Chains A and B, each alone.
Chain A
Amino acid sequence: GQQVMQIPQYQHVQEGEDFTTYCNSSTTLSNIQWYKQRPGGHPVFLIQLVKSGEVKKQKRLTFQFGEAKKNSSLHITATQTTDVGTYFCASLKTSYDKVIFGPGTSLSVIP
């Protein structure tokens, strides 16, 4: 079945450093979503990408969808302690009913 992988599993950065997490699939994805989960919290939707090669920005966060629609990345510029949490990518199957989540990347930011 469709699987979505994420790397790295964990990342520790000094505050102010950049951070990138990658999401990969062996099959073409119809779309990709990104969620953030703070420690002890619930996942919160960040963004959805649909088009091949799409790039979207939210302040210090940059999201990309690969040209082949098999991979995606989330890049955070100049991390802050408020960025701490686990970042998940997810994909809705073409029929937009089932959702497949990646295993997540846990980000720690050292002040």
Chain B
Amino acid sequence: EAQVTQNPRYLITVTGKKLTVTCSQNMNHEYMSWYRQDPGLGLRQIYYSMNVEVTDKGDVPEGYKVSRKEKRNFPLILESPSPNQTSLYFCASRSLLVDEQFFGPGTRLTVL
């Protein structure tokens, strides 16, 4: 089944404790992206990647890192999480030939 998977789905952590949210897709998509969703603000793009070893900042990249060492994986790294990073995070992917994005199930992160 074609899908985007994220892990973990839920995470409660404390300020300053490094964490990684994994994202994987099995559709051989070149483009992958991370979004955060907050009430009243919709989805805001954090980082995106057009292909392996190519990453770029979205609208809200501060406090986040990403890497794209393999085509299928696009982990989101929070080196020193803060409470304002409490949010619902979505990973998405798409082919460069088609603009339709496929979203993962989401990761709900709480930073205390």
- Bound CA span A27–B42, Å: 19
Complex interface residues of chain A between 70 and 111 (CB less than 8 A to chain B): 88, 90, 92, 96-104
CB distance from B105 to the nearest CB of A (A): 6
B64 CB-CB contact with A under 8 Å: no
Interface-side segment among A14-22, A42-50, A52-60, A61-69: A42-50
Instruction: Determine whether the beta carbon of A98 is less than 8 Å from that of B99.
Output: no
Instruction: Report yes or no: A97 in contact with B99, Cβ–Cβ below 8 A.
Output: no
- Nearest-Cβ distance from residue A77 to partner chain B, whole angstroms: 24
Does A39 sit at the interface, judged by CB under 8 A? no
Docked-complex contact B99 and A96, CB < 8 angstroms: yes
Supposing A42-B104, A42-B105, A43-B90 touch, asked if A48 and B99 sit within 8 A by C-beta, the answer is yes
Count of CB-CB pairs between chains A and B under 8 Å: 55
Known contacts A101-B43, A102-B42, A104-B42; is-contact A45 B104 (Cβ 8 Å) = no
Q: Are B59 and A97 neighbours in the complex by a CB distance under 8 Å?
A: no
| A-contact 0/1 string along B47-91, CB 8 Å cutoff | 010100000101100000000000000000000000000000010
Complex CA distance for A45 and B48, rounded to whole angstroms: 18
B103 touches A44 (CB 8 A): yes
Chain B, interface size: which category?
Answer: 20 to 34
Q: Is B2 an interface residue, CB under 8 A from the partner?
A: no
Count, chain A residues at interface, CB 8 A: 23
Which of A6, A88, A104: most chain B CB closer than 10 A? A104
B5 to chain A, nearest CB (A): 11
User: In the complex the two chains form, is B56's CB within 8 Å of A97's CB?
Assistant: yes
Q: A45-B102, A100-B59, A103-B42 are in contact. List 6 more A-B contacts (CB 8 A).
A: A31-B99, A33-B101, A42-B90, A43-B103, A100-B45, A104-B42
* Chain A residues with a Cβ under 8 A of chain B: 1, 6, 9, 31, 33, 41-45, 48, 88, 90, 92, 96-104
